Each structure stands twice: as structure tokens, then as C-alpha cells.
Amino acid sequence: MDYSNFLYMREELPLIAVMVILLLYDLFGSERSLRHFQLVACLLFGAHTVWCLFPHESCEAFGGMYVYRPMLTVIKSILNVGTLLVFMQAHTWLEGDRTRIRRGEFYFLTLSTLLGMYFMMSAGHFLLFFIGLETASIPMAALAAFDKYKRRSAEAGAKYILTAVFASALSLYGISMIYGTTGTLYFDDLAARIDGSPLQIMAFVFFVVGMAFKISLVPFHLWTADVYEGAPTSVTAYLSVISKGSAAFVLMTILLKVFPAIAVEWQWMLYALIVLSITVANLFAIRQKNLKRFLAFSSISQAGYLMLGVISADAQGMTALVYYVLVYMVSNLAAFGVISAVEQRTGKVMMEDYNGLYRTNPKLSVVMMLALFSLAGIPPFAGFFSKFFIFAAAAGQGYYGLVLIALLNTIISLYYYLLVVKAMFINSTDEPIAPFRSDNYTRISLMVCTAGIVLLGVLSVVYERISLFGFGM
Amino acid sequence: MEIKMEYYLVISTIMLFAGIYGFITRRNLLAVLISVELMLNSVDINFVVFNRFLFPGEMEGFFFALFAIGVSAAETAVAIAIIINIYRNIRDIQVRHLDRMKH
């Protein structure tokens, strides 16, 4: 066997190295050296992030099982930066009494899910895709149940693992039918053999249902709110951004690579999913009082917007999708960063607890406001531009009705995002959250997020850089 | 006498839908887990049968089934660990008691 094929995995190998180093360090480090565990973990992973920034030439390894395209470097770098930000925000939580002894596990589990997403995105064969998907979702359940003394966290873990297995069983059933009708599972060979027979369309429906569970599109979103609420806040942030972004990206590559022959069918399917996701999630978000649940529904509707890039199915759609993931990442992580900072100090996550936050913690309130403005798509923040590009991509393919529905929903979403802003800035209360200083890790991560929200939209070079890799798929 | 492929497929389809039915109706977390396992096993049958009858020269379906079995074992292990953790927290694994988070 030719082991040199492993050298093509330029992003995966360093990540595995980081994982192993952190695991050994956590096992064998002395009590004194372990005090710097978090710093070492962030630095190591930061080095890995920098290493992965530079794209190399397209290649295939293991007979087409593993595929590399320059576009993958872009999306992997985005996910790396997001993971690094989550690590920084998790600092205070991991230093707590009950979690300090297990913090090594947190890093190891998180990095395993990231590794699974890498493999899932680089897959050229349904087997590697499936293994990557499971590597991404099994440790995620353990992460959701990480606060094992809290009942909510345990519940979240159970709900996540059972729905995740259910979804992957449905997906697998679809894949098995695709195998039965075509005789191959290589993406490249499949494209020519998919001819739109009824059995293949059924198989495809099963496959997409399984993926829609992972991306949490309506009507497959029922686990989302509970898991987001119950899981530790840093895990929720990771789940809402990294997991969702990678799954949307994979869905797009597979739809484009494997199923172009039945594009008419899947575009109608996606059309219905998008309309339902955006509308239903928006309406449910209005009545949420818990901020984590609120952001869960907001993330479902954002996933609907992400799918607008998928449905346009061309280079512009791909660029808009990746750009949307990037902007959504900084905005959502800023919001979750504020929520987790407040939760760690006071344990409060309800919307009415945020009344009068501006009087006591003005900086946090402003960051939260910018994040929510960006999520709602108010110019000149990055969220406006990402929505603009993704609408432009969908309109370019003639989906004017869909874009109109999405636009109307943007207005609804403005209402509930502003409810939070109103609570922080206008509502008065006798017992506001007392002023506090966040730790430096959270401050840096919030600064990075804020800079992203303000600058990503204005600096047109970002979008242009991504579009250079355009249709690397 | 050779058993035809259709019979295997009927079995696997029944297993899949029995699993879906069980997933929705069972009231005990372990029973829900068993239902999901039923679904995963139906997929394994599919892969092996397709490979054996339709594409006998290749190994792709067999390998997929092997990996699927391995992965589903891992899933079960994690799921049972989480269920045990729930039992430790609330001394019960009935689905209706997992209602701490609503609305």
C-alpha cells in the first residue's frame, strides 16, 4: 500500500497531531504545567489555523475517496477560526469547579467533531462522507451532555444522540438505495449514473431528510431548541455555527456533484424547505423568552437563508454560501459570547434579565446589539452584505418569489432581534445585572467578532477572495 | 432454491418502518434506542443484498455494511452512556420525564 497518499491530507494531519498532543498533555502534564492548558490549547490550534490558511493544488487520494479542492481551504479556515473563538469563549466555563478536571476532554471532543467535518467535506465517496458525518455527530452528543450533573444538559445529550442516529439511519437508507440503483458510491461516477428513476428520487428524499435533520431545517428542526437550550453555552455556539455551516456546505457539494441530473426535483424540495424554515422559525422565535432558545430559532431561520445559496447551484451561490457562513459565524459567536459571559457570572439567560444591561455593562450591550443587527441584516454591518449576496445569487437563477418571501421574513426577524436590543437599552429595571469584567479570552474573542461584523461587509476584498476560488468544487 | 432479492428487500423495508414507528411511539429511552438500531440494521441488509445480487464482483456494499455496523456500535455506546447519565440525574428513563425544556 502506498502510504504517501496520507500526505495529501494537509489539513487533517496537523489537526490529528494537535488532538494527540493535547490528549497526552492532559494525561501526563504535571499539576503546575496544566495551569496553562488553555493557553497551550489555543496557541496550538491557532498555529494549526494559520497553517491551514494557504490553499494548495487540487488533488485526490486513495483512488478518489479523499478529494481536495482549494475551496475547501477557505471553508475549513472559516471553521477553524470559529472553533478558536469558541475555545476562547469557553475559558471561564472550563475553569469552573466541576469542569476544570475534564477540560482536556472538551478540547479533544470538539476537535474530533471538527476532524469529522473535515473528512465529511473532503469526501469523494459516500463511505468517507458517512464516517465523517458520524465522527462529527457522536462526540457532539457527548459535548451536549458535558455538564453531566445538570439535568438539562443530560436531556439535551439524549435528544441530540437519538435524533442524530435517527437522521443518519434515514440518510443511510437513501444511500443504500442509491447504491442499489447505480452500483457505485464514488461521487464522480454517480453523476453519470443518476437518471431520475422513481427509486432514485425516493432514495434522494431519504438522503436529504437525513441532512436536513443535521442542518435543522423545518420540519426536521424539533430537536434544535431543546438541545440548544440544554447544552452548555459554548457547545451551543459551536453547534449552531460550525456544525451547521459544514453540513450546509456538504449538502451543496453533494447536490451539485452527485445529483445534477435531478436538479428540477431537488430544487422544488429545497424551495419548500426554505420557505418553511424561514417562516416557521421566525414566527416561533417571536415568542421565546430564553435567549438560547431564541437564538436556536434564529439559527433555524438563518439555515433557511443559507439554503438560498444551495438552491442557486452555481459558482455565485457557492461563494455567497461560504461568505454567509463566515458572516453568520462572527455574528452568532458574538451573540453567544455575550450570553455565555453573562451566564457564567450570573447564571441568567432569560430575556427579561437583560433589562437595563446597557446601564451596567455598556460594552457587552453594544457588542450584542451589533451582533443582532448583523443577524437581522441592517446595513452597513456584514450581515446586510451576506444577505444581499445570497439573495442576488438566488435571484440570478430566477427565484424571485423565494427572494421576496425571504425579504418579508427579514422584516419579521428585525422585530424579534430588536426586542432584545430594546430590553438592553430601553427597558428599565430595579435589579439590572451588576457590572463585571470579562476575562481576557472572552474580550479578545468578542473584539475579533465585532471587528468581523463591522469590517467584513465593508472590505469587498473578502468576498472577492472567496469568489476567486469560485467553483472549486 | 435461491431466495430472490425482493424478499430480502421486503424484510429490510419492514424493519426500517418498524424502527421509525418504534422511534415515535416508544416511551422508554432504551426502547427508542433499540428502534433506531433496527433502522440501522435494515440499511446493512440493503447494502449486503444489493452487493450480493446486483454487483457480485465488487466489495463496496460489504465494506459499507461493515463500517456502518462499527459506527452504529459506537453510537449505541455513547447513547447508552448518556441514558445512564440521565438515570443518575432523575432516576428514570421514561421519555415523558424529559420535559424540563418546553417553550
Under the banding of pLDDT at 50, 70 and 90, the label for residue B103 is low
Q: What nine digits make up the cell of A405?
A: 418571501
CATH (one of 3.30.70.980, 3.50.50.60, 1.20.120.1200, 1.10.287.3510) for B5-97: 1.10.287.3510
Chain A interface includes B21 (CB < 8 A)? no
Percentage helix, strand, coil for chain A under 3-state DSSP, each rounded to 5: 80, 0, 20
Under the banding of pLDDT at 50, 70 and 90, the label for residue B100 is confident
% of chain B exceeding 90 in pLDDT: 76
Task: Judge residue A288's burial from the number of C-beta atoms within 10 Å of its C-beta, 0-12 exposed, 13-18 middle, 19 or more buried.
Answer: buried
DSSP letter at A379?
T
Helix H or strand E segment including B43: helix B29-53
Contact at CB, A169 and B19, closer than 8 angstroms: yes
Q: What nine digits make up the cell of A191?
A: 453523476
| Closest chain A C-alpha to B45 CA, distance in angstroms | 9
Amino acid in position B38: L
Q: What nine digits make up the cell of A469?
A: 476560488
Strand stretches in chain B, DSSP E: none
C-beta separation of A356 from A350 below 8 A: no
Give pLDDT, residue A314.
86
ipTM: 0.95
| Range(s) of the domain holding residue A52 | 3-469
Give pLDDT, residue A472.
53
Contact at CB, B78 and A142, closer than 8 angstroms: yes
More confident residue, A56 or B54: B54
Give pLDDT, residue A326.
95
Considering CB atoms only, which of A131, A145, A287 is closest to B85? A145
Amino acid in position B12: S
DSSP letter at A472?
-
Domain edges within chain B: 5-97
Q: If DSSP codes are grouped into helix, strand and coil, which group holds residue B28?
A: strand
Give pLDDT, residue A473.
53
End-to-end CA distance of chain B: 58
Q: What nine digits make up the cell of A291?
A: 435567549
Q: What nine digits make up the cell of A98?
A: 466541576
Contact at CB, B39 and A158, closer than 8 angstroms: no
Q: Enumerate residues 6+ apart whose C-beta is below 8 A from A237.
A: A86, A89, A332, A333, A336, A337, A340
Please, which residues bridge with residue A123 across strands? A66
Q: Which residues of chain A have pLDDT under 70?
A: 1, 470-473
Give pLDDT, residue A245.
94
